[in-house]
Amino acid sequence: MSNSYNYRHLYYFWVVAKEGSMSKAAERLNIATQTISAQVHELEKSLGYLLFKPAGRGIILTDFGSVALEIADQIFSIGEKLPEVLRDAAKSPKIKIIVGISDSLPKFVARQLLEPVLKNKDVHLIAHEGEFDKLLADLVLHRIDIILADRPANNNKNINVFSEMLSKTSIAWYSPKQFLKIAKNNFPDCLSELPILLPTVHSTVRLLMDQWFTKLSLTPNIIGEFQDSALLKTFAASGMGVFPAGKLIEKDLKETYGIELIGNCDEIYEHFYAIRSEKKIQHPLVQAIIEQ
């Protein structure tokens, strides 16, 4: 196979595939049908595969042509957006940062950890929420600039990432209004009777809570487990049950959901981390998050 093909050959193939015929592609590009046909054949010769085959009076893609079209779609769809992207960049030059937010990290905490970024008027923030391991893979592949999570990355010589603790908060228990009277008068024994909502085992807080229950000889009345912290709080606010959370977000819980503190968990803390791929930080906004 030769590597002599160029993007003009590929572009002509792409237009023919989109238009469905050589003649329509030639009309769109304002060139002779023979010219575009020759360019497509040159691409087929370079690749070593037929990209089109006859079908009635027209042509259709071969299996190899379908694969080539998928690649061409990615290339030229992005290329067509280039003028628009450049115009937007010229109008409003901004510093872009792509942040991965672990789905177990409380959303109020994520917002607080991003305060140094949000204070910058010339920032373009792109936030991706997802499972910790998937975000870590994206970080290694440089698809994101930094991860915010409730755990550090495991030591692994095969991946070069760095974890730094940004802050921590003590854990407490919170309740919607309907359970406040019972909860405050009989805490923590009330947790054996009241409906309880907990994070799933993917959260580092869950293991600590299970150990805390054992230490106090409590059998919690668990009626719900949630992987997403915001979803847990939404169900709690609807009156489904009481739940543990960091005291760092106590004010937000009360003001946003009408949820109030009912008691503390002694010696239990939730830690929050920034994980990056660069040993020497180059991105100014990543630096601002780390130094807060």
Q: Which fold has domain 168-271?
A: D-Maltodextrin-Binding Protein; domain 2 (3.40.190)
55 Cα distance to chain centroid: 44
Note the pLDDT tens digit of each residue in 226-260: 988 888 989 999 999 999 999 988 998 999 889 99
Q: Which CATH architecture has domain 7-90?
A: Orthogonal Bundle (1.10)
Q: How confident is the model at residue 62 (pLDDT cuts 50, 70, 90)?
A: very high
Q: What is the DSSP string of 47-86?
A: HTS--EEEETTEEEE-HHHHHHHHHHHHHHHHHHHHHHHH
Q: Averaged over 141-163, what is the pLDDT? A: 86
Q: If we measure between CA atoms, which residue out of 170, 237, 249, 242 comes closest to residue 208?
A: 170
Q: Of 82-96, 116-130, 233-247, where does mean pLDDT reach its minimum?
A: 82-96
Rounded to 5 degrees, what are φ and ψ at 23? Answer: -65, -40
Q: Averaged over 131-148, what is the pLDDT? A: 91
- The amino acid at residue 25 is A
Please report the pLDDT score of residue 1 as a whole number.
Answer: 41
End-to-end CA distance of the chain: 55
What's this model's pTM, rounded to 2 decimal places? 0.62
Please report the pLDDT score of residue 157 as a whole number.
Answer: 67
Q: How confident is the model at residue 99 (pLDDT cuts 50, 70, 90)?
A: very high
| Residues of each domain in the chain carrying CATH 1.10.10.10 | 7-90
Per cent of the chain over pLDDT 70 is 95
| Residues of each domain in the chain carrying CATH 3.40.190.10 | 95-167+273-291, 168-271
Q: Averaged over 166-170, what is the pLDDT? A: 92
Look at 156 and 103; give whichever has higher pLDDT.
Answer: 103
Note the pLDDT tens digit of each residue in 38-58: 999 999 988 889 999 988 888
Helices (H), 114-258: 115-118, 132-140, 180-185, 204-215, 229-237, 250-252
Q: How confident is the model at residue 185 (pLDDT cuts 50, 70, 90)?
A: confident
Q: Which CATH architecture has domain 95-167+273-291?
A: 3-Layer(aba) Sandwich (3.40)
Please report the pLDDT score of residue 120 as a whole number.
Answer: 81
Which residues neighbour 62 within 8 Å (Cβ) at sequence distance 6 or greater?
Answer: 49, 50, 51, 52, 53
Look at 291 and 169; give whichever has higher pLDDT.
Answer: 169
Please report the pLDDT score of residue 89 as a whole number.
Answer: 65
Please report the pLDDT score of residue 244 as a whole number.
Answer: 94
Judged against a pLDDT cut of 70, whether residue 92 lies above it is answered with: no
Q: How confident is the model at residue 86 (pLDDT cuts 50, 70, 90)?
A: confident
Note the pLDDT tens digit of each residue in 187-197: 999 999 999 99
For the beta sheet containing 260-276, the strands, ordered from the edge strand earlier in sequence to the opposite edge, are: 123-130, 95-102, 146-149, 260-276, 162-175, 243-246
Strands 52-55 and 58-61: antiparallel
Judged against a pLDDT cut of 60, whether residue 272 lies above it is answered with: yes
Which contiguous run of DSSP H or E holds residue 172? strand 162-175
Q: How confident is the model at residue 261 (pLDDT cuts 50, 70, 90)?
A: very high
Contact, 224 vs 240, CB < 8 A?
Answer: yes
Please report the pLDDT score of residue 2 as a whole number.
Answer: 45
Strands 196-199 and 95-102: unpaired
Rounded to 5 degrees, what are φ and ψ at 150? Answer: -100, 15
Please report the pLDDT score of residue 5 as a whole number.
Answer: 63
Look at 203 and 266; give whichever has higher pLDDT.
Answer: 203
Rounded to 5 degrees, what are φ and ψ at 143? Answer: -85, -20
Judged against a pLDDT cut of 80, whether residue 15 lies above it is answered with: yes
Q: Averaged over 73-78, what is the pLDDT? A: 82
Please list, residue by residue across 65-98, b when 16 or more beta carbons sit within 10 angstroms of its beta carbon and e when fewer do. beebbeebeeebeeeeeeeeeeeeeeeeeeeebb
Q: If we measure between CA atoms, which residue out of 37, 62, 40 comes closest to residue 52?
A: 62
Contact, 140 vs 161, CB < 8 A?
Answer: yes
Contact, 183 vs 172, CB < 8 A?
Answer: no
Contact, 217 vs 78, CB < 8 A?
Answer: no
Question: Mean pLDDT in the chain?
Answer: 88
Whether cis (ω within 30° of 0) applies to the bond prior to 54 is: no
φ/ψ bin of 56: left (φ > 0), alpha (ψ from -120 to 50), beta (otherwise) = left
Contact, 14 vs 39, CB < 8 A?
Answer: no
